[in-house]
Structure 1
Amino acid sequence: LTGMPVLIAATGGTARHSLVLDHALRPLFAHLKAVVVPTGVYAASEDWGAEGLDGRIERAAGELAALMRGLSATRRPAPDAFTVVPFAEQLAAVTEGSAN
């Protein structure tokens, strides 16, 4: 997830559960080195169909889209972190080095 943009969202029974976004999910994704959108969206049961939820979703989605546009403009393909060298080649390199 390193550098990957993430929008955190959840739903639950009551508004008291909304703290899970900032006290559990945001630190988890930060630990995984994701880039977390500032606005999280939590919808309790009473939020469905109520005024305001659409605006929160649009705001968070706009932040995610802006972040994605910015990353796609600057992101380059990551180099391979690992290059596999067959053991026979490694052994030959050591043998040649010791012969010189």
Structure 2
Amino acid sequence: MIGYILGYTVIVNIVSFVTMYIDKKRAKEGKWRVKEKLLFTLAFLLGEFGIILGMKFFKHKRRKRTFTYTIITILVLHISVILAILIKKS
């Protein structure tokens, strides 16, 4: 079970990272952009590390405070849920 969860998380984070790259590339080219709603959805589906790495690596969406705070809030929510599950098991 843990293996499936880890595999899923790796895949979602890779997709999130690549999506950040695509959005940055399209922004530079003045083309249609990836909707923030999709990026938030990917983060909510456990892809927040890919989003954060994309922000750092591609220097993308770092000045948008609302975006940054939303991603951090999702990360804190996920950490809280994981801690609650671990505490309940012990």
TM-score (norm 1): 0.36
Specify which structure has the higher proportion of strand. 1
TM-score (norm 2): 0.38
